[in-house]
Amino acid sequence: DTAVSQTPKYLVTQMGNDKSIKCEQNLGHDTMYWYKQDSKKFLKIMFSYNNKELIINETVPNRFSPKSPDKAHLNLHINSLELGDSAVYFCASSQGWVGGSNQPQHFGDGTRLSIL
């Protein structure tokens, strides 16, 4: 059973398009996250939701919009894709905020987004 699953695994699209990445966790966790990892392997948090409420919204372009229909899902929609959006996007989940709950964060396998 996959704990945190992201779809699609690979996404190749043209500049200017709108795309979504879906994330689902079956661990019963109440907190979910989106991270971006660039070509130099630097990981940066983008958003975090706790019980469907946004608790972290880093300085990312407003072309990126997270949506959490329920605790088990956190989807990422990206409008007007740009070349600089090419990266691997990771979804993760934890029970409670990862920095305070002593509970590990579980990551999905990532979605590799390539903008042509």
Q: Is 41 in the site for another protein (CB under 8 A)?
A: yes
Instruction: Rank residues 16 and 104 by Cβ distance to another protein and give the closer one.
Output: 104
Instruction: Rank residues 36 and 75 by Cβ distance to another protein and give the closer one.
Output: 36
Instruction: Rank residues 69 and 100 by Cβ distance to another protein and give the closer one.
Output: 100
Please, how many CA atoms are within 13 Å of residue 44, restricted to the half-sphere of its CB?
Answer: 12
Residues 55-114 that bind another protein (CB under 8 A): 55-56, 90, 92, 97-100, 102, 104-110
Long-range CB contacts for residues 109-112, cutoff 8 Å, separation at least 24: 109/5, 109/6, 109/9, 110/6, 110/9, 110/37, 111/6, 111/7, 111/8, 111/9, 111/10, 111/11, 111/21, 112/9, 112/10, 112/11, 112/88
In the bound complex, what is the minimum distance in angstroms from residue 89's beta carbon to another protein? Answer: 11
Binding site for another protein (CB under 8 A): 33, 40-45, 48, 55-56, 90, 92, 97-100, 102, 104-110
